[in-house]
Each structure stands twice: as structure tokens, then as C-alpha cells.
Amino acid sequence: MADKLTAKAEQTRAGIVDAALRLFRSEGYDAATMRAIADEAGVSLGSTYYYFSGKEELIQAFYDQLQVDHGAAAETAFDRAAFADRLRGVMESFVDVAEPFHDFGGQFFRNAADPRSPLSPFSAESAPAREASTALFRRAVEGSDLKVAPALSQELPELLWLLHMGVVLFWVHDDSEGQRRTRTLIAGLVPLVDRSVRLTRLPLVRGLVDDGIGLVRSLRG
């Protein structure tokens, strides 16, 4: 499928992706049927399935694009040195970038929760997007003034990505105007995270953190 394609074939494929993204944005998830996408791209239904294994792969393209946009929007967050500022910047920029797609975001993330679906953020197929997203949080940690134990700082980016997934879940269910409640959540959550991480240097807390990290690592291996 991703093998050598004629220049013309490559063009057809790109046209289908474009048509799909256009319809997802303008019509939403439900109305963007495979037949509508094929029509919009000016090809037959069968051709769509020649280039893509199914609707999910088309949605993956949309998902990837969103990830790229998030990365670009988060860039300004790294101007600051304070960890809290950097983290807030990364988290808020997601809400900014994803806002236009909030209405069908739910329909979209439905597939993401299916463990057998390649669209799941935990799937092998999503590894590139997941790694790109985690990299944002890694930059938020590593470029900052934050001082934490090496063991924790190594796991922190992935833990923050996990927290981000929780925020996204909240965002999906948030029907307040402009996702105001999600923004409130982030505004309150970021200082809590900041203070919590710094508290890990306390002797009494440290043992707890070490055990937590040990658990995470034993589950990953």
C-alpha cells in the first residue's frame, strides 16, 4: 500500500486525503461517509478502499494532522523557563488547536478507546503520534528550571502525556462554551502538578515516588 506508487496514483491518494479532511471539518464525522469522500475526491468508492484499508485509516490522517498542528502551536510555550508555564502552554495549545473539531471530537475519539482499533492512542500504529506528543511534554520538562530525581524525570514526560489524555477525555465531555471548563481544569491542574513534582524531594514522599516508578517500569517490561 505504502509501496511504490505512480505519480498519478500518489496524486489520487492525496486527493482522497484532502477530500476526507475537508469533509470531516465541514460536515463532521457522521456525514463524511466513504461514498461522500469518494465523490468529493472525484473517484469511485472502490478506489478509496484501494488506497486506504478503511475509514479508520482516513481518520488517522486527520489525527496526525491535528498532532502536527498541536506541535506548531505549542512552540511558543518553550520561550519561558518556568516548568509550570511550559506545561500550561503545551496543554492550552491543544484546546486552542482542537476547538474547531470539538463537536465531532466525541465521535472521533470513540474509535480511539477501542483497544483493537489502530486509532487507539495506545496502539502500535499510533506510536509515532504518541511519541510526537510525548516529545512536547519532554521539552516542557527538560528545558525548564525543574529539578527532580533522575528516575522521575525520565518517566515524567510519559506520565504527563497520560495526564494529557485525561484532559482530552474531559475536553471531549466538556460542552461549555469555548471549552471554558477544560481551560479551568488546566489552569488549576498545572500548579498542582508543578507543586506535586517539587514535593517529590521530600524524604517521606520520595519512597512513595520510587515505588510508583518501580510499578510503572515493571508494567511496561
d(CA 105, CA 28): 9
Which grid cell sits at 135? 516529545
Examine residue 220 and tell whether it contacts DNA (CB under 7 A).
Answer: no
Q: How far apart are CA 213 and CA 216, in angstroms?
A: 5
Angle ∠(153,155,159) on CA atoms, nearest 5:
115
- Binding characters for DNA, 47-86, by CB under 7 A (x = yes): x-xxx-xxxx------------------------------
The residues binding a second copy (CB under 8 A) are 106-107, 109-117, 120, 122, 169, 172-173, 175, 181, 184-185, 188-189, 191-192, 195-196, 199, 202, 204-205, 208, 211-212, 214-215, 218-219
Which partner in DNA, a second copy, none is near 50 (CB below 5 to 8 A by kind)? DNA
Question: Using CB under 7 A, which of the segments 42-50, 84-92, 184-192, 211-219 binds DNA?
Answer: 42-50
Query: 102-112 and 55-73 helices cross at what angle (nearest 10)?
Result: 120
Q: Shortest Cβ distance from residue 182 to DNA (Å)? A: 28
CB of 221 to DNA, least distance (A): 34
Torsion, Cα 37 19 95 125, to 10 degrees, reads: 70
6 binds DNA (CB under 7 A): yes
CA-closest candidate to residue 192, choices 167, 217, 168: 167
List CB contacts of 138: < 8 A, sequence separation 6 or more: 157
Q: What does the radius of gyration of the chain's CA atoms come to, in whole angstroms?
A: 20
**Contact region for DNA (CB under 7 A) — 37-45, 77-85, 99-107, 212-220?**
37-45
Q: Which amino acid is at 154?
A: Q
> Considering the complex, what minimum distance in angstroms separates the CB of residue 123 from DNA?
15
Is position 44 an interface residue for DNA (rule: CB under 7 A)?
A: yes
Binding site for DNA (CB under 7 A): 3-6, 8-9, 12, 32-36, 43-47, 49-51, 53-56
